[in-house]
Each structure stands twice: as structure tokens, then as C-alpha cells.
């Protein structure tokens, strides 16, 4: 339903957690090279547990390759430099969410190509730098899925 795009992810445990998240929500995970780990990294496997087989994970040589191949109808970037709070957006099926590398976030070369209303942020305390990548992905993905009434989920 949704696409999670990690631009040059660096920490295998974060990506493993996100693989598990995607397997449990039905989202697809797209990794933009270079990766800071090998896909068979022990830490990636450990964090993802046995969810790798249930997740749709694709690797691309560049962000342009992802856009050309997947053709997302709307691409949102999450950044501390965002202009709009993520919860103020009405998300739609097939939206894609772009997240930057853990140590530096999305580069200016990517941010300047984004439409201003597609640059989103999560509110934080004034002196905070950023949230953990896998936590940020979880917050945004669950909000988008909630807006779709958790379609496909087992609701008890």
C-alpha cells in the first residue's frame, strides 16, 4: 500500500527494524544505495528476525532509479528541515515516504528537488536534533495507514 524509501541507510539494525515494520503493515521497503551494510549483515537479520521473507524489499542504485521504476504518485520527504507537520497531510494509498541517512539526514541536493508541501517533519522539543530513523518511519507509516482505516489489518 505505501512505499518506505531509505536514502543511503547506514545502520543495519534500523533497516532490520523497518523490514519488520513493513512486513507487519504491508508497506514495501526501498533502499537507495550506497548502503552502510551488506544485505546479509547479521545485525540486519537479527533486527528483522524472520520477517525478511514477508517483506517486499528492493534496492536501487539511486533515488532517480527508484522514481523511474516505481513511479510513486506522491513522494513525501521527512526531515527536520520540513515545512509541514506530518499529521496535517491527508495520505493516500501508494504514497511514498523518503527518509535520509541516520547521521546526516537528506542532503540539500534532494530536499531542494521536493515540493515545499511534501517536506514533512515530526514535532519535537526545541533543543532536540532528531528521532531514531525506525521510530520516525513507524510514526509516519502508522499515521498514513490509520488514515486508510488500517486496510488489510486484523482488527479485533
The predicted-structure confidence for 16-31, as pLDDT tens digits, reads as follows 899 999 999 999 999 9
Is-contact 2 8, C-beta < 8 A? no
105 assigned to a ligand binding site: no
- pLDDT tens digits for 103-138? 999 999 999 999 999 999 999 999 988 899 999 999
pLDDT at residue 104, as a whole number: 93
The pLDDT score that the predictor gives to residue 40 is 73
Nine cell digits for residue 143: 499515521
Mean pLDDT on 38-67: 77
Which numeric CATH code is attached to 3-148? 3.40.1280.10
Domain ranges of the chain: 3-148
Is the predicted pLDDT of residue 156 greater than 90, yes or no? no
78 labelled binding-site residue: yes
Question: Is residue 96's pLDDT more than 80?
Answer: yes
For every residue of the chain, which 3-state class applies, written as one string?
CCEEEEECCCCHHHHHHHHHHHHHHCCEEEEECCCCCCCCCHHHHHHHCCCHHHCEEEEECCHHHHHHHHCCCCEEEECCCCCEEHHHCCCCCCCEEEECCCCCCCCHHHHCCCCHHHEEECCCCCCCCCCCHHHHHHHHHHHHHHHCCCCCCCCC
pLDDT at 59: 95
Interval 72-82: pLDDT, tens: 999 999 999 99
Per-residue pLDDT band at 51 (split at 50, 70, 90)? low
What is the model's pLDDT at position 105?
94
Phi, psi of 152 (to 5 degrees): 90, -10
Q: Is 154 annotated as a binding residue?
A: no
31 is in an annotated binding site: no
What pLDDT is attached to residue 154?
87
Query: What confidence category does residue 53 fall into, taking pLDDT thresholds of 50, 70 and 90?
Result: confident
Amino acid at each position: 500500500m505505501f512505499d518506505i524509501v531509505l536514502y543511503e541507510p547506514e545502520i543495519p539494525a534500523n533497516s532490520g527494524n523497518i523490514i519488520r515494520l513493513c512486513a507487519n503493515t504491508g508497506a514495501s521497503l526501498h533502499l537507495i544505495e550506497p548502503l552502510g551494510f551488506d544485505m546479509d549483515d547479521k545485525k540486519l537479520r537479527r533486527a528483522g528476525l524472520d520477517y525478511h521473507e514477508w517483506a517486499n524489499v528492493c534496492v536501487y542504485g539511486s533515488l532517480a532509479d527508484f522514481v523511474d521504476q516505481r513511479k510513486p504518485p506522491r513522494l513525501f520527504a521527512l526531515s527536520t528541515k520540513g515545512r509541514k507537520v506530518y499529521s496535517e497531510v491527508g495520505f493516500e494509498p501508494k504514497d511514498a515516504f523518503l527518509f535520509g541517512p541516520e547521521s546526516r539526514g537528506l542532503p540539500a541536493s534532494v530536499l531542494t528537488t521536493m515540493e515545499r508541501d511534501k517536506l514533512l517533519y515530526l514535532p519535537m522539543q526545541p533543543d532536540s536534533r532528531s528521532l531514531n530513523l525506525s521510530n520516525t518511519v513507524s510514526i509516519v507509516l502508522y499515521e498514513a495507514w490509520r488514515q486508510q482505516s488500517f486496510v488489510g489489518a486484523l482488527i479485533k
